[in-house]
Amino acid sequence: MKQSPQARMGLAESFQKRRRIAAWFALPWIAVGLTGFLFAAFLGEEHTAREVVFLAAFAITVIGALVGVRLYRCPACDKVPSEDGILLNPKTCPWCGVRLK
Ligand SMILES: [Zn+2]
């Protein structure tokens, strides 16, 4: 796929915008989820609320990750930039090779 330098610049820009929006939406969930995990650990083995807090924290973290992944996509091929795991700020898309930075 041939593209003008201007079109490529636009894709990189829109990817960076998506990345910021994804972080903005996903990070609060993940932060709350991780706080929940810490809280569950703090409650200790014998506490009955521990499992509930742990599950809630897990669910919230998963929601955060799903929201992030939903938004965090390559603007050219609509895939999540990933290799072994999700690439947080790749120079190019590993799937279609479009410049993202
Ligand atoms: Zn791509």
Strand partners, 92: 99
Q: Which amino acid is at 72?
A: Y
Over pLDDT 70: what percentage of the chain? 91
**How many other C-beta atoms can be found within 10 angstroms of the C-beta atom of residue 33?**
19
3-state SS class at 60: helix
How many angstroms does the Cα of residue 76 sit away from the middle of ligand 1?
A: 5
How many angstroms does the Cα of residue 55 sit away from the middle of ligand 1?
A: 34
- 10-58: pLDDT as tens digits: 999 999 999 999 999 999 999 999 999 999 988 888 788 888 999 999 9
Question: Considering only CA atoms, which of 17, 2, 5, 4 is closest in space to residue 74?
Answer: 17
Write down the H helix ranges in the chain: 5-43, 49-71
Residue 91, token pair as written in the block: 């120079």
How many angstroms does the Cα of residue 65 sit away from the middle of ligand 1?
A: 20
